[in-house]
Copies of this chain bind each other. A is one copy, B any other.
Amino acid sequence: MLKDIQSQTDNRGISLNRVGIKNIDWPLKVYDRAKEFQNTVATISLSVALKHNVKGTHMSRFIEVLNNIDILNPHVILNILETIQTKLDADSSFFECSFPYFIWKKSPVSKHTSPLKIEATIMSEKRQGKNEIIIGVVVPVQTLCPCSKAISSFGAHNQRANVKILVKTKRKIWFEHLAEIAEKSASSPVYSLLKREDEKYVTEAAYNAPKFVEDVARDTALLLEKEEGLTWYKVEVESFESIHNHEAFAWVEKKL
């Protein structure tokens, strides 16, 4: 019989907020608004709180509960959290994963379809019998500088930017829907495939909708406030300034 060091009593009197594993990659299915589901590869973190009088956690159990995932959804995640909380005798448990998610978009004029990768995130916590879920996306968009446009005789600097949205929600919300909110709030969406007539369209559309990172953050926030069922959001916009070697950013966070 091998010793169980982790289960020994700890006398240091220090409980730990979280103990677990991270940066483990895992193949998964996730629901997709257009098709039934899509396959992806997620990077996962799974952890529990550790009581002050227990020496350590049995890390292998985090992997065992992951082994049962087929399609990732709130019920599966809640089940994972409840299982590890029981197995590890913990007061709270935490799941976090992020993965590339593809949205099949049509280019604006020629209507060619191609996949655009966004980053999707799901975080879930179970604490004192309550379960809370945060859903998030990081969506690449284009921003065109209103100041540069206003002061220049022609042209305006523009660049790729990321819109990061995190929401707490009481109802189902699609990654695609959050991505659309981000894209509507930017100077223009970006696409994997643009033919020449599309490129003309996108160039002119961005020029006609100049936005600072401040504007994108606020317009995204305004759209989120109109959504039903959200109880909290955070929006962060980061633009890879084409005239600088650094990023501009803006963020806003709000309880609803």
Contact = CB atoms under 8 A, between A and B. Distances in A.
Q: What copy number does this chain have within its complex?
A: 4
B146 A251 contact: no
Interface in A1-59: 2-6, 10, 12, 14-27, 38-41, 45, 47, 50, 55-57, 59
A18 B248 CA distance: 11
A193 interface: yes
Given A102-B27, A150-B5, A217-B16, A142 B193 contact: no
Nearest to A110: B60
A56 to B, nearest CB: 5
Give the contact-size bracket for chain A.
Answer: 35 or more
Interface of A: 2-6, 10, 12, 14-27, 38-41, 45, 47, 50, 55-57, 59-60, 63-64, 67, 100, 102, 112-117, 140, 142, 144-148, 150-160, 188, 190-197, 199-200, 202-204, 206-207, 212-215, 217-219, 221-222, 238, 240-253
Which 5 A-B residue pairs are closest in the complex by CB-CB distance? Answer: A155-B207, A39-B39, A24-B246, A25-B117, A152-B203
Q: Is the interface of A mostly helix, strand, loop or mixed?
A: mixed
A14 to B, nearest CB: 5
Contacts of A113: 67
